[in-house]
Amino acid sequence: MQDPQTGWLALVATPIGNLEDITLRALRLLREADLIAAEDTRRARRLLTRYEISTPLTAYHAFNEHRKTESLLGQVEAGRQIAILSDAGTPAISDPGFFLVRAALERGIEPLIAPGPSALTFAVVAAGFPVDRFLFAGFPPNKPGKRRRFLEALRKHETTCFIFEGPHRIPRLLDEIATILGPETPVALIREATKLHEQVERGSAAGLAEQYAERKGKGEFVIALDLRPPG
């Protein structure tokens, strides 16, 4: 178990676009850390340079997290202070982090969570749909059969649903939503949240599918679906 006076593991939320969207606590933890393990070290370095933070960086992502987790937790147990960053936003939300948290808890290490920006919470506010309760479903599978079953399973929830998708699959996804969930399904597309070209588009699944048939999606998207029964 880590020494509570010295060693700690902190999951730190970082900006999803606008570098001003960072908390004072996050900056303090990044300065105090002995090491920052980042999903994208180049992106992390831009943030650290902006705030004149010189903490060393190491890569920690989906392709090496099983191999590096043991080393990182061993360092925490030895009294070192380790901060974890995802590519952007809050670690573990469709990003690396869960595996590390689970392994830390198994070893008696209670992670510090420094909350902050998240593309999901931005979209929840921006969509304009009821969110007294909602479902976050992550990224749809890529294979056609699994994608269909993924979307079909959403219907039973009858609430606002949020999913992530890359720009090159947006036209395909909108067609699938219109076909599987219905052409009149209310949809909000939240693109490039907090960035220069931030945009929210709202309409029916069929209407947006027709628009995107004529153009390519650019940037990262959160898609909101209002799956409540009409009336």
DSSP-assigned letters across all residues of 138-178: ESPPSSHHHHHHHHHHHGGG-SEEEEEE-GGGHHHHHHHHH
Asked whether 16 and 89 are in contact (CB, 8 A), the reply is yes
Domain boundary among 65, 98, 114: 114
Q: pLDDT confidence of 5, banded at 50, 70, 90?
A: low
Percent of the chain whose pLDDT exceeds 90: 87
83 and 50: one domain?
A: yes
Average pLDDT over residues 113-119: 95
Percent of the chain whose pLDDT exceeds 70: 97
Owning domain of residue 86: 8-114
Domain boundary among 114, 135, 169: 114
Average pLDDT over residues 198-207: 96
50 and 107: one domain?
A: yes
pTM of the model: 0.88
In a domain, 1, yes or no: no
Looking only at the bridges linking them, the beta strands covering 81-85 and 8-12 are parallel
**One-letter-per-residue 3-state SS of 52-105:** CCCCCEEECCCCCHHHHHHHHHHHHHCCCEEEEECCCECCCCCCCCHHHHHHHH
pLDDT at 27 over 70: yes
In a domain, 2, yes or no: no
